[in-house]
């Protein structure tokens, strides 16, 4: 007989009381208490028995339980040792779940994938991420070019909007470019704060990132490309020219910068938020040369 779903207010309270568990603010712990939202996440993430799933921060197993029911195999990284006995209890009936007590930022994820999954099956990351560490976790997953097909994460709404933002919008910035260089990004669900325990102060969104086979633009040097992008957003209200002059001070004067911007047909008086990824690539490549 299947036990009652973890992701309900009553069951969550029961589990927390049984184990005398108290939330650690420093770990950004907010547990989901709505099964329907979890089922929607399964659909948006494309989880079925033909795929493997990696979860980050399973908490008491609300999302993990759904992954165990829908995916072939599941590996979950949990940093908080106090949660291990709880997870053993809530996930006891699922033989396809492995919980690893490790900080995802220090983990060799590629090795874990090689050790736990069949190489012919797609790997998808699905997680309800702690707000305070969302960006470092996602950038690690993207920059290590892991053999994963997609990442579907519940994160702070404002951060999800920034990651999926288009040029000429308030949310568009260096984070949008960094994420969209590696993935196709889309906000697929908006989630009210009322479906969490304890309730966070902000609303959440589910962001789906489909990994690209190759970046959408060709750049001479990736680090330099991201440096230039960051520099152009250094002070949002300033022009490209002013931000770049500040960044390249001592290496390139304004005349040289103006000459190079003109070569690629980019008006120096524009602002960073008006440039597309293609224009950023042109800009970085001409400055690199």
Q: Domains for the chain: give ranges and CATH numbers.
A: 9-211 (3.40.50.150), 222-288 (1.10.8.100)
Question: What is the pTM assigned to this prediction?
Answer: 0.92
Percent of the chain with pLDDT over 90: 83
262 is in an annotated binding site: no
3-state secondary structure of 155: strand
d(C-alpha 148, C-alpha 14), whole Å: 35
* pLDDT tens profile 204-262: 999 999 999 999 999 999 999 999 999 999 888 899 999 999 998 888 889 999 999 99
Q: Is 220 annotated as a binding residue?
A: no
d(CA 109, CA 55): 11
pLDDT band at 113 (very low <50, low <70, confident <90, very high): very high
User: 101 among the known binding-site residues?
Assistant: no
Residue 128 is labelled as binding a ligand: yes
Looking at residue 35, the DSSP 8-state letter turns out to be: H
Confidence band for 199, pLDDT divided at 50, 70 and 90: confident
Closest CA to 198 of 3, 56, 27, 5: 27
Q: Which helix (H) or strand (E) holds 177?
A: helix 174-182
Structure confidence at residue 160 (pLDDT): 97
Per the annotation, does 57 bind a ligand?
yes
């Amino acid at each position: 007989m299947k036990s009652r779903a973890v992701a309900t207010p009553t069951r969550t309270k029961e589990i927390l009381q049984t184990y005398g568990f108290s939330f650690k603010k420093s770990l950004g712990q907010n547990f989901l208490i709505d099964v329907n939202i979890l089922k929607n996440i399964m659909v948006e993430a494309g989880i079925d028995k033909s795929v493997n799933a990696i979860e980050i921060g399973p908490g008491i197993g609300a999302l993990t339980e759904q992954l165990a029911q829908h995916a072939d195999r599941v590996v979950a990284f949990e940093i908080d040792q106090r949660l291990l006995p709880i997870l053993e209890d809530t996930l006891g009936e699922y033989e396809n779940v492995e919980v690893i007590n490790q900080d995802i930022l220090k983990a060799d994820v590629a090795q874990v994938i090689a050790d736990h999954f069949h190489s012919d099956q797609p790997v998808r990351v699905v997680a309800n991420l702690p707000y305070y560490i969302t960006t470092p976790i996602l950038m690690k997953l993207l920059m290590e070019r892991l053999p994963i097909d997609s990442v579907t994460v519940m994160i702070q709404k404002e951060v999800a909007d920034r990651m999926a933002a288009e040029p000429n919008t308030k949310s568009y910035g260096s984070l949008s470019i960094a994420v969209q260089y590696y993935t196709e990004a889309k906000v697929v669900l908006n989630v009210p704060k009322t479906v969490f325990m304890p309730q966070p102060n902000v609303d959440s969104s589910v962001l789906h990132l489909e990994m690209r086979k190759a970046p959408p633009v060709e750049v001479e040097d990736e680090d330099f490309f991201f440096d230039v992008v960051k520099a152009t957003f250094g002070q949002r209200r300033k022009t490209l020219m002013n931000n770049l002059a500040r960044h390249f001070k001592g290496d390139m004067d304004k005349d040289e910068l103006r000459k190079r911007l003109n070569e690629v047909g980019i008006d120096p008086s524009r602002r960073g938020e008006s440039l597309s990824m293609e224009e950023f690539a042109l800009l970085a490549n001409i400055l690199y040369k």
